[in-house]
Chains A and B, each alone.
Chain A
Amino acid sequence: GQQVMQIPQYQHVQEGEDFTTYCNSSTTLSNIQWYKQRPGGHPVFLIQLVKSGEVKKQKRLTFQFGEAKKNSSLHITATQTTDVGTYFCAGLQRLYGNKLVFGAGTILRVKS
C-alpha cells in the first residue's frame, strides 16, 4: 500500500534558526497536504500542493512539491516559539480511494 515517510522525527532548534521537514512517498501523489498539531491539540490544515514542482509560501513557511510528485518539504525561516508543534505531511493518491496517508510527523521544539 501507499506509504509516506517523514524525517526527521524530532528537531530541537534555537529560536531564530531555520527548520525543515521532508516527506517521501512510495508512489506518485495526486496532492500533498501539510498539517500542524500543537501539543494537546488536533491537526490543523496548513496547505495543499497539487502541481508538480509547486512552491507555496505562507509568511515564514515555504512548502515545496517535488517534480515527480513523490516528495515534499516544509521549511520554516527564523523559527519562533509559536512554531512549536508536530508537522505532518499527508499524501493523497486517488488509486487508494482518495484517502490521506499521513507521515509520522516531525516534532519541532524551539528554545528561546
Chain B
Amino acid sequence: GAVVSQHPSRVICKSGTSVKIECRSLDFQATTMFWYRQFPKQSLMLMATSNEGSKATYEQGVEKDKFLINHASLTLSTLTVTSAHPEDSSFYICSARKPFSSGLSYEQYFGPGTRLTVT
C-alpha cells in the first residue's frame, strides 16, 4: 500500500496568525503532491500541485501568497496558511502520487486531512 500522513489533524488558531500543515509520504517517494480544500458535504477542490524541488502550481483563484507551499523533499510537502481569517476555516487534505513505474498509474493516496478552525 501507500501511506500518507498529515499533521496536525486539527488546529485552532486566532485570526491573523499563520498555520503550517505537513504532508508526508511514509513508504514511498512522491515527486508530486497535491493540496485540496474540502467544505462540509462538498467535493474536493484542488488548490495547488506541488512538485519536489520546484515552485508549486496554483489553481485559478487560489492566492499563492496566502497559501505557501513548499515541497523540499520527496517525502514532505508543507502548506502554510498565512494571516489566517475565519473564512479560511476548512478541511485541508493532501495527496501524493507514486512515481510512474511500469504502466502509468495516476492513483493518488490521500492524507487523513487537517481541520483548520480560525477564530
Contact = CB atoms under 8 A, between A and B. Distances in A.
B107 A107 contact: no
A92 interface: yes
Given A33-B108, A41-B112, A92-B106, 9 more contacts: A42-B110, A42-B111, A43-B95, A44-B110, A48-B105, A48-B106, A48-B107, A88-B43, A97-B49
Nearest to A103: B43
B42 interface: yes
Contacts of B105: 48
Interface of A: 30-31, 33, 35, 41-45, 48, 88, 92, 97-105, 107
B73 interface: no
B57 A97 contact: yes
Nearest to A86: B41
B44 A88 contact: yes
Nearest to B94: A42
A99 B106 CA distance: 9
Given A88-B43, A104-B42, A104-B43, A42 B93 contact: yes
Contacts, number: 47
A102 B108 CA distance: 12
Given A43-B93, A97-B49, A105 B43 contact: yes
A112 B66 CA distance: 46
Contacts of A101: 46
Smallest CB-CB A-B distances: 5 pairs: A42-B110, A104-B43, A102-B44, A43-B110, A102-B43
Interface in B85-106: 93, 95, 105-106
Contacts of A88: 43-44
A31 B106 contact: yes
Contacts of B110: 35, 42-45
A105 B38 CA distance: 12
A110 to B, nearest CB: 17
5 contacts: A31-B106, A33-B106, A45-B107, A99-B49, A100-B46
